[in-house]
């Protein structure tokens, strides 16, 4: 009998294989100092475009005060236990009610984590007879939820309504043949890699033609899109057509936790059956208090969202003017598409961080096809015009070097942190 550890030690995976050169720099880097547009990386000040602190709330004085007061008053332990057993509170229920009102739904259930929550939502909604139809570019938490689904699932090409209909026809035929089950459609409000909004308007328009329920993961749309910041559904005028609305506190609210909202009876079913919450400790009280304050600022400070969009618009316009390909983003998420291998990408990242003091996330093979590089910039309300200008100048310089072959190398640079 083989030792299961043998396989693990022989192959650390597509990213883990580079750990001895990459750890602490390309992977698991440590940003230090107060959260903002400028932080410390290995002792140097760098302009950071990698934090999902969309509205700049992480270090907002009112937020810091609420977080501190919540921790001082309640500590991190309260409430002790799962919500169903001993971990409920008036403040948990207040946050749920305020979130439901904000996203125009009847009720809401709090979730400890977005990733864990989405996996569990799919599990609680679908039986083995149900069929799921989902977008090909869905987030990993959706994919992992789908892996647990014992029934059939069909994937449609990203934001391709023609292919969506094709998959809906297949799903409908299967359900009719089974004479049992229904159809759940899953997509996203904003796709976090490319920044394009999901085709919510087009999908919901087909509800009269096909019978299905719609689950939308709006992690990147909540707080950033729509007149009031209620997300992609509000932006596209179809919030009332979204049956199950999900988002996280980890993006625009710069916190921990998540929620799922919808019709009261359905949410009540989820509340009493969602395993990741029934068998997990309740969201700690300081987080609940802090999230109540964050939601208050989302509602009452529209200038935060306006500042975010001012930054995003200037950054995206500047990149386009300089000839960069930023794809079809119609959100604040800003991808930059380039050509090159993994080794070139890492050399370019090093140049950006060490010589231009720009820190941003990069995506390479095996996440995307070989020969492609994606920089993913996340604008926030904390960024300044000076940050934008310095970043545009830096990217123009490194793009010129990339095209000239200056980053050609045979190996990933060894930048690992040494103990």
Q: Which residues contact 4 (CB under 8 A, 6 or more apart)?
A: none
CA distance 275 to 390: 47
In 177-320, which ranges are E strands? 183-188, 213-217, 244-248, 258-262
- What is the gyration radius of the CA atoms in the chain, in angstroms? 22
* pLDDT value at residue 261: 98
Contact 119, 145 (CB under 8 A): yes
In this prediction, residue 376 carries a pLDDT of: 95
Best CA proximity match to 394, nearest among 332, 315, 340: 315
Fold of 61-300: 3.40.640
What's the CA gap between 292 and 272, in Å, rounded?
A: 23
What are all long-range contacts of 236-241, with beta carbons under 8 Å and residues at least 24 apart? 236/197, 236/200, 236/201, 237/201, 238/200, 238/201, 238/204, 239/103, 239/104, 240/104, 241/200, 241/204, 241/207, 241/214
What confidence tens digit (pLDDT) does each residue in 192-251 have?
Answer: 999 999 999 999 999 999 999 999 999 999 999 999 999 999 999 999 999 999 999 999
Query: For 227, which DSSP code?
Result: S
pLDDT class of 413 with cuts at 50, 70, 90: confident
User: Can you tell me the mean pLDDT for 260-274?
Assistant: 98
Spatial CB neighbours of 265, under 8 Å, sequence gap ≥ 6: none
Interval 397-413 mean pLDDT: 88
pLDDT tens track for 298-348: 999 999 999 999 999 999 999 999 999 999 999 999 999 999 988 889 999
User: What share of the chain has pLDDT > 70, as a percent?
Assistant: 100
Q: What is the DSSP string of 358-377?
A: EE-EEE-TTTS-TTEEEEEE
d(CA 135, CA 203) in angstroms, rounded, equals 11
Q: Indicate if the pLDDT at residue 366 is higher than 90.
A: no
pLDDT band at 2 (very low <50, low <70, confident <90, very high): confident
pLDDT above 90: residue 153? yes
Asked if 407 and 347 touch (Cβ cutoff 8 Å), the reply is yes
Q: In the chain, list all ranges with CATH 3.90.1150.10.
A: 4-54+302-404
Cα distances (Å, whole numbers) of residue 329 to 113, 256, 312, 332, 366: 26, 26, 11, 8, 22
Confidence at 419, pLDDT banded by 50, 70, 90 = low
In the structure, what pLDDT confidence band is assigned to residue 132 with cuts at 50, 70 and 90? very high
**How many angstroms separate the CA atoms of 151 and 128, rounded?**
4
pLDDT at 102 over 80: yes
> Does residue 131 carry a pLDDT above 80?
yes
Q: What is the DSSP string of 257-290?
A: -EEEEE-HHHHHHHHHH-HHHHTSPPPPHHHHHH
* Mean per-residue pLDDT of the chain: 95
Q: Could you tell me if 23 and 417 are in contact, meaning their C-beta atoms sit under 8 angstroms apart?
A: yes
Dist CA 356 CA 373 (whole Å)? 19
List every span in the chain annotated with CATH 3.40.640.10: 61-300
d(CA 40, CA 376): 19
Cα distances (Å, whole numbers) of residue 239 to 106, 155, 245: 12, 23, 9
Q: Which two tokens stand for residue 354?
A: 């060490």
Work out whether strand 334-339 and strand 131-135 pair parallel, antiparallel, or are unpaired: unpaired
CATH number of 4-54+302-404: 3.90.1150.10
Vertex 261 angle, CA 382 and 147, to 5°: 95
Q: Do residues 394 and 360 make contact, with C-beta atoms less than 8 angstroms apart?
A: no
Rounded Cα distance, 23 and 113, in Å: 26
| SS3 of residue 294 by DSSP | helix
pLDDT of res. 233 = 98
Helix pair 114-125, 264-273: axis angle to 10 deg: 110
């Amino acid at each position: 009998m083989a030792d299961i550890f043998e396989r693990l030690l022989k192959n650390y995976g597509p990213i883990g294989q580079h750990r001895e050169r990459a750890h602490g720099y390309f992977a698991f880097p440590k940003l230090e100092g107060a959260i903002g547009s400028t932080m410390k990386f290995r002792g140097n000040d760098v302009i950071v475009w990698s934090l999902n602190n969309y509205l700049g709330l992480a270090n907002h004085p009112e937020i810091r005060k609420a977080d501190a007061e919540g921790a001082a008053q309640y500590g991190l332990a309260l409430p002790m236990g799962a919500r169903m057993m001993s971990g409920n509170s008036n403040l948990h229920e207040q946050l749920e009610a305020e979130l439901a009102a904000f996203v125009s739904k009847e009720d809401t259930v709090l979730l400890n984590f977005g990733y864990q929550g989405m996996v569990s939502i799919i599990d609680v909604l679908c039986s083995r007879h149900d069929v799921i139809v989902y977008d090909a570019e869905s987030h990993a938490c959706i994919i992992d939820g789908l892996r647990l689904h014992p029934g059939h699932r069909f994937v449609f090409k990203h934001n391709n309504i023609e292919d969506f209909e094709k998959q809906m026809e297949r799903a409908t035929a299967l359900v009719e043949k089974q004479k049992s089950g229904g159809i759940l459609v899953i997509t996203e409000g904003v796709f976090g890699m490319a920044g394009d909004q999901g085709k919510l308007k087009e999908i919901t328009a087909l509800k009269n033609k096909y019978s299905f329920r719609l689950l939308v993961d709006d992690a990147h749309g909540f707080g950033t899109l729509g007149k009031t910041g209620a997300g992609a559904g509000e932006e596209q005028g179809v919030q009332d057509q979204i049956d199950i609305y999900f988002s996280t506190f980890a993006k625009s609210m710069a916190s921990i936790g998540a929620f799922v909202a919808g019709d009261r009876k359905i949410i009540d079913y989820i509340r009493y059956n969602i395993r990741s919450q029934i068998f997990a400790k309740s969201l700690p009280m300081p987080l609940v208090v802090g999230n109540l304050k964050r939601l208050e600022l989302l509602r009452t400070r529209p200038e935060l969202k306006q500042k975010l969009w001012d930054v995003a618009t200037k950054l995206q316009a500047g990149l386009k003017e300089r000839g960069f390909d930023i794809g079809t983003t119609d959100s604040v998420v800003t991808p930059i598409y380039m050509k090159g291998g993994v080794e070139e990408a890492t050399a370019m990242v090093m140049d950006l961080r060490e010589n231009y003091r720009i820190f941003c996330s990069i995506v390479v093979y095996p996440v995307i096809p070989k020969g492609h590089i994606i920089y993913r910039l996340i604008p926030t309300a904390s960024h300044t015009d000076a940050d934008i200008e310095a970043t545009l100048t830096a990217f123009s310089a490194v793009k010129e070097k990339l095209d000239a072959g200056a980053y050609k190398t045979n190996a990933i640079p060894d930048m690992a942190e040494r103990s």
